Amino acid sequence: MILDVIKNKIEQKCKTSNYPKEKIVLPENYRGMPLIKNGCSDDIVRECAENCPVDAIDSTKRTIDLGKCLFCGDCEKISNSEFVEFTGNYETGVSSREDLIVGVNTKKIELSTNAVFKKLFGRSLQLRVVSAGGCNACEADINVLNTPFYDLARFGIQFVASPRHADGLLVIGPVPVNMELALKKSYNAIPDPKVVIASGCCAISGGIFKNNPEQLKGVDEILDVDLYIPGCPPHPMTALSALLRFFTNKLQSSKA
Amino acid sequence: MNTCFINVENGVKIPFDIIPMLNFENFYEEIINFVNSDASVVLFFVFENKDEDELQFVAVLRQEDKLFAARSKALSEYPSFCTHSLKFQLFEREIAEQYGIKPIGHPWFKSVRYHNNFVNADDLFGNDYKNDIPGAYPFYKVEGEEIHEVAVGPIHAGIIEPGHFRFNCAGEEILNLEIVHGYQHRGIEKQLLNADLKKFPFILESAAGDTTIAHATAFSEAIEGLTNTGIDDESKKIRALALELERLANHVGDLGALSGDVAFLPPAAYFGRIRGEFLNILLNISGNRFGKGLVRPSGVRFPVSDGQKHNFVSKINELEKEIISIADMMFVQPGVLGRFEKTGIVKHNTATELGLVGVAGRASGIDYDVRRSFPVSAWKDITLDNIIEHSGDVMGRAMVRYREIKQSLNLVKSLLDKLECSNPDKCGYKQPVLEPSSFIVSMQEAWRGELAHCIITDSKGAISRYKIKDPSFHNWNGLELAVRNEAISNFPVCNKSFNLSYCGFDL
C-alpha cells in the first residue's frame, strides 16, 4: 500500500512553479489588463459602453473601471480591438479603488504598498477567507492557491480557519444583506492590526448584482479595504501577484 | 397514463396558451396521479400572469423520459401536495416565500432564502426582514438532558460558501441535521423580472460559478428555442465539450477534497492540481477558467483551433493516465475505504421519496441523466452508458464521480476528435427578439444533476418570468438524512460527498 503511495509520489514529481523567479505566461485568450486605445471613433466607444453588462465603460472619458469589469471581452470583440485590447498582464491588484479606473494607453497599474504591512506581514500572513455571496468561482480559484502549482504556503501566506488566528480578511462576493452581520462579526474578531482584501468584482463593486436591494455594492460599503483584486474570477496569478506585491518584497516592482 | 397535462420537450417552445389551464381540483388530482406513478418534479412555481391579471401555478413533471406541464390559478392557499409526495416540499415553501401563497398541511413550513416576497403580500413565516437571518425560524429541537446542539456556520472553517448547519447530537451521534440557507441570496429571480436582456447571460453564469457552462447552455438553448435559431454542429460540440470539462474539473476536485477530508493527502494535492489543468483548457478556449463568456445564444463565442485541439488531446491523454493511477491508489487504501464505506448512507427508498438527482441520486440507485433522457443538441448523437451505484454511501458517491470522470474523458476525446476547428463567432450583440406569449423549458445535466430553466414571455415578447432550478434544490435534504446516526466527525466527508451549491440554491 505504502509502496503505491511512494510510487505515485515519484511519478508526480514536483509541480510547483518557480514564480516569481520564473515569469508565468498565461494562454493567449486570457483577458488581463485592458489596453485602451485612443484612435477609434466615439460611436464605437459608445456602442461598447451600451453593451457593457456592468456599465464599467465611461464613453466620455474612455475609461474602464476594473472594479466593475467582468473581463468578458465583449467590448474587445464589438470594437474589433480598436477601442480596447485585453493583454496577458495579470498583475492588476491595487491598493486604492481609484487606481482601478484605467484610462487610455495605461499598460500597467502600480500597486502602492504600505511599509507597515510589509514589516508586519511580509514573512508570515494568515488570512481568513469569508465568502459573502460569492458564486463559488472566486472561492475555487482561491482554494487552488493552496495546490502544488501555486503553493501559497511557501511564501508564508496561509488561510486559517478562524478570524482569531488571522491577520486579515479576504472577502469574496457582493455581501448579501443576509451575510452582513456574519461578515462584520468576523472582521471584529480579528485582532488589530488587520488588513482587508476584496477579491473579485462582486466584492469590489457588487458585480453583476450591484443594483439588487438584497445586497451591498461591495465590501467597502462597510469595511475599509486595503487591497483590491479585480476579475471574475481573478485568475490565481492575479491574486498571487497582488498578495506578493502588497505584502512582500518578492516582486520588486512596487513602491513603498 | 391518461392526463390532461400537455407533453413538452426540452428546449422546444410552445405557445403559452396551449398549456392546459385547469381548475385547482383537477390540477391537484392529476398531480396526485402522476406522483402515484412515480413521476418527479422538474419545476413547480408561481408566476404573475399580467396578461390574465392573476397568479398562476405552473407544474412541469417528469415521468419515464417525458415532460408534462399544466397550470392553474393560484389562490392565497391550497392543500399541500406533500401529503402525497415529499418531492414538492421545497417548491411549496419557495412559492410561499416568493408569492405569499400558503400550502395547508405542509409537514415543515419554514422559509427557504429569507427575503421579502415579490408581491407585497403578508409574510407567511412571521418574519420582519429588517431583522437578521434566520428570523423566526422553527429549528427542530430534540428534547433530553443528554442532547446538545451544535451550530456550524454561516461562515465555515474552509473556503466554502456560507450556510448554517444545526445538529442535534447525543454524544457523538447526530440525531438530526437541519440546514438553513439564504446567506447567499442575491435576489436573482427578482432581478430577472426586470433586467435588461444583455445582462441575462452574465447573471445566469454567476448564479453558480462552478456550474457556469450548464447554466449558460440552458439559457442559450432556451433563447434559441424562443427565437427559432438553429446553431451549427461545431458550436454544439464545443458546448458539450465545455460541459464535460466542467464536469471533469469538479469531479476531480471533489475526489481530491474527499481524500483530504479523510486525511489521505496525496490525492488531495494531486487532484487539486489536475482540476486546475481542466480549468486551464477552458481558459485556453474562452479566456476564463470557468468558461464565463463562452456559451451564448446562437453558438459559442470562441472557436477551437487545430493547434489547440492537438494540445488538448495530448493533455487529456496525459491527465487520464495520472487520474487513473492516483484514483486506483486512493481506492485501495484501507484508511480511505474505512471512512468512505457505509458512511452517510441514503437508501434507495429515501432517495426516491425525496427526488434526489444527479450524482447523489445515481449513487443511491436512481438511474436518471438528462443527457440520456432528454437529449438536446450534441447529446442527440451520443450514447451514454448509465452509471449507478447501489450503496448510497460516501463510497458510492465517490465511485459515481470516478466512473463519470472516466466516461467524460472518453467523451472529451471523442468530441475533440470530431471538431472541425471552424466556427467564427456567430453570436452577435443585438438583443434577440423573443416569440411572444411562449413557454419553454431548457434542461441540462449539470455536474451535480438536473438543472432546469423555464422562460415565459408575455404578449410583447418580454420575459415575464425566468425560473431557475439548480440541481442542489433537490439534494440538500439528501445530505440532512445521510448524516442521521453518523458520528458528527463524519459530517465533513458526507458534506463533501454531496458537494452541493449554496449559491445555486439561494439565487
Q: What is the pLDDT of residues B87-97, one digit of tens each?
A: 999 999 999 99
- Distance between CA atoms of A110 and A196, rounded to whole angstroms? 19
Domain for residue A175, yes or no? yes
Task: Indicate whether A40 and A148 sit together in one domain.
Answer: no
Q: Which strand ranges, in their side-by-side order, compose the sheet holding A227-229?
A: A157-159, A125-131, A168-172, A195-199, A227-229
Lowest mean pLDDT among A8-17, A88-97, B336-345, B480-489: A8-17
Domain for residue A5, yes or no? no
Q: pTM here? A: 0.95
CA distance B430 to chain A (A): 9
Are A43 and A101 in contact by the 8 Å Cβ rule? The answer is no
Lowest mean pLDDT among A158-172, B285-299, B426-440: B426-440
Number of folded domains that form chain A: 2
| pLDDT score recorded for residue A32 | 92
CB-based contact B503 A135, cutoff 8 Å: yes
The mean pLDDT value for B291-320 works out to 93
| pLDDT score recorded for residue B121 | 87
- Residues of the domain holding A122: 115-247
Q: Which strand ranges, in their side-by-side order, compose the sheet holding B173-180?
A: B147-152, B164-170, B173-180
Spatial CB neighbours of A254, under 8 Å, sequence gap ≥ 6: A110, A111, A112, A113, A245, A246
Strand spans (E) along B18-163: 21-22, 40-49, 54-63, 66-73, 77-79, 102-104, 147-152
- Distance between CA atoms of B167 and B185, rounded to whole angstroms? 23
Would an 8 Å CB–CB cutoff place A85 in contact with chain B?
Answer: no
Task: Indicate whether A135 and A204 sit together in one domain.
Answer: yes
- Distance between CA atoms of B474 and B476, rounded to whole angstroms? 6
Task: Indicate whether A166 and A54 sit together in one domain.
Answer: no
Would an 8 Å CB–CB cutoff place A143 in contact with chain B?
Answer: yes
Task: Indicate whether A123 and A243 sit together in one domain.
Answer: yes
CATH code, A198: 3.40.50.12280
| pLDDT score recorded for residue B136 | 85
| Runs of H (alpha helix) within B430-471 | none
Domain for residue A21, yes or no? no
| pLDDT score recorded for residue A197 | 95
Would an 8 Å CB–CB cutoff place A55 in contact with chain B?
Answer: no
Are B438 and B451 in contact by the 8 Å Cβ rule? The answer is no
DSSP string, B93-114: HHHHHHH--EEET-TT---SS-
Task: Indicate whether A77 and A145 sit together in one domain.
Answer: no
Cβ-in-10-Å burial (0-12, 13-18, 19+) of B425 comes to middle
Task: Indicate whether A120 and A86 sit together in one domain.
Answer: no
Percent of chain B at pLDDT > 90 equals 84
Task: Indicate whether A130 and A239 sit together in one domain.
Answer: yes
- Closest CB from B115, B269, B301 relative to A214: B115
Domain for residue A218, yes or no? yes
Task: Indicate whether A86 and A120 sit together in one domain.
Answer: no
pLDDT band at B1 (very low <50, low <70, confident <90, very high): low
Task: Indicate whether A219 and A168 sit together in one domain.
Answer: yes
**Can you count the helices (H) and strands (E) in chain B?**
16, 16
pLDDT band at B282 (very low <50, low <70, confident <90, very high): very high
CB-based contact B325 A11, cutoff 8 Å: yes
| pLDDT score recorded for residue A255 | 39
Residue with more model confidence, A255 or B392: B392
Mean of per-residue pLDDT scores for chain B: 92
Percent of chain A at pLDDT > 90 equals 63
pLDDT band at B130 (very low <50, low <70, confident <90, very high): confident
Domain for residue A2, yes or no? no
Domain for residue A236, yes or no? yes
**Residues of A in Cβ contact (< 8 Å) with B285:** 29
Q: Which of residues 237-256 of A touch B (CB under 8 A)?
A: none
- Distance between CA atoms of B79 and B283, rounded to whole angstroms? 50
Task: Indicate whether A154 and A218 sit together in one domain.
Answer: yes
The residue of chain A nearest to residue B246, with distances taken between CA atoms, is A137
- Distance between CA atoms of B401 and B255, rounded to whole angstroms? 8
Number of CB pairs, chain A paired with chain B, less than 8 A apart: 190
CA distance A116 to chain B (A): 27
| pLDDT score recorded for residue A252 | 63
| pLDDT score recorded for residue B77 | 92
CB-based contact B162 A179, cutoff 8 Å: yes
The mean pLDDT value for B9-36 works out to 93
Domain for residue A28, yes or no? no
- Write the ipTM: 0.92
Task: Indicate whether A143 and A209 sit together in one domain.
Answer: yes
The mean pLDDT value for B316-339 works out to 94
CA distance B197 to chain A (A): 9
User: What grid cell was written down for A219?
Assistant: 465590501
- pLDDT digit string, tens, across residues B395-413: 999 999 999 999 999 999 9
- Whether B361 shows a pLDDT value over 80: the answer reads yes
Task: Indicate whether A141 and A222 sit together in one domain.
Answer: yes
Are B65 and B42 in contact by the 8 Å Cβ rule? The answer is no
- pLDDT digit string, tens, across residues B167-195: 999 999 999 999 999 999 999 999 998 88
- Distance between CA atoms of B23 and B30, rounded to whole angstroms? 11
Domain for residue A133, yes or no? yes
- pLDDT digit string, tens, across residues B185-230: 999 999 998 888 889 999 999 999 999 999 999 999 999 999 999 8
